[in-house]
Structure 1
């Protein structure tokens, strides 16, 4: 599968879900959240982004754009992964 292929294709029947009442949702296979589970929970604040101007090779930009909508987010994810790898050295 190519990068971004199928991202815009949802197989979810959104009309059916929108028409469902909360009581109609089957929760039998979802475990109840216990106080023990919350004991180890960690609040993670979302990291803000900052707009920048960045020069990249045309081939790099074309590759990410070929994946469709969200290419800037994917580029940021690659950069974040690189930063994490460098910090663990």
Structure 2
């Protein structure tokens, strides 16, 4: 059971991060952002991208279709 009153009264300085490793560039490279619920409907589309763009996603091990979809949704 959580002690919500104690938690709400804590400042950032009160939090013990001794068992949490710092986020290194290697860890951050593999991080991704989870955004809300999935769209109820997806449509298939053939999209031609510059090799430079596709290679960047592959080198960074990012699911390019999902990420490009998120970027486009943010844009609109």
- Normalising by the smaller structure, the TM-score range is 0.3 to 0.5
TM-score using structure 2 length: 0.45
TM-score using structure 1 length: 0.39
